[in-house]
Every structure is written in C-alpha cells, then in structure tokens.
Amino acid sequence: MSIARHWRERTVRYRLEGQRHRHTGEVRFPVRPPALDEDPNDWEPYQLSGLGEIYSFSVIRQAPAGFASLGIYPVALVRLAEGPLVTAQLTDCDEADLAIGMPVEMVTRRLMDTGEDGVLVYGYKFRPCLR
C-alpha cells in the first residue's frame, strides 16, 4: 500500500469513522462512495463508538508474507454496536480466553513498518473490554 493511500485512509484507521444514511439511519463501514442511483448527500460521516463483540474469530498460525514478524495472532469479525461487521486483529488477549460474544473495544496500534522508507502504519485493532 502506498504512503499516499495510508494518508488518505488515516481517519478511518485512527478514528473508526463510517457513514450514516440521513434518511434510514443505516450505518456502514468502511466509507464508500455513493452508488450510481444514490444521492451523494444521503450519506454523512459518522463516528463509530469502537465498541462491539466478537462475532467469529480464528488464530493465524502461519502468517502471510509481510506479517511473519507477528508470529501467531488472532483475528476476528467484530459486530460493532452500530451494526457493521469489521474484520480486525485482536490484541492484548490470550487465545484461550477468546469467545464468541466477548465484548471488545477498538484501540489504535501499529500495523506495520513499511521498511526502508521509514513509514510506521497505525490502525485499529480490538481488545477485550469490561462492560
């Protein structure tokens, strides 16, 4: 991913900003351009709470290229309190403690180091929370 793309997506990555439909109240994430048959003014920026629960999860034991430094790590589908499902890495937790329905909260963490250009990429992950 290019440095310019990281910069353009910083709001989504750091603040978990989605969109809400002005008339129906539907919330979506990530932000998308309007469909051809939609009025562009129907969707407004919407700050998601960052709270949700684990809908499903898995543990990555053989990391894909570029992620080997992470070792073994859990990823999940998180159902946000506002409705959308988000795929994200889980952090600050033990694999044995993970469960479907577990409450989680969004945190900002380092995602990767792009290498020689020196760019550190931060974004959202989720961790267990007490509610």
Asked whether residue 55 carries a pLDDT value surpassing 70, the answer given is: yes
Residues in the chain: 131
Q: Name the residue with higher pLDDT: 116 or 58.
A: 58
Provide the CA 10 distance to its chain's centre, in angstroms. Answer: 12
**Residue 72: band (very low, low, confident or very high) from pLDDT cuts 50, 70, 90:** confident
Q: How far apart are CA 99 and CA 92, in angstroms?
A: 14
Region 92-109: what's the mean pLDDT? 94
CA distance 105 to 67: 23
The β-bridge partners of 108 are: 124
Closest CA to 41 of 21, 24, 25: 21
Please indicate whether residue 8 or residue 120 has the higher confidence score (pLDDT): 120
Domains of the chain: 3-128 (2.40.50.840)
Specify the pTM.
Answer: 0.83
The span from the CA of 15 to the CA of 125, in Å, is 11
* pLDDT at residue 4, rounded to an integer: 66
Output DSSP code: residue 43.
Answer: E
Tokens of 71: 């070792």
Instruction: Answer whether residue 91 shows pLDDT above 80.
Output: yes
Of 8-17, 52-61, 116-125, which has the strongest mean pLDDT?
Answer: 52-61
| Greater pLDDT, 38 or 130 | 38
* DSSP for residue 129: -
Per-residue pLDDT reduced to its tens digit, 29-49? 988 998 899 898 999 999 999
Predicted pLDDT of residue 1: 52
Please list, in sequence order, all residues whose beta carbon lies within 8 angstroms of the beta carbon of residue 20, skipping any fewer than 6 positions away.
26, 27, 28, 43, 44, 46
The values of phi and psi at residue 105, to 5°, are -135, 150
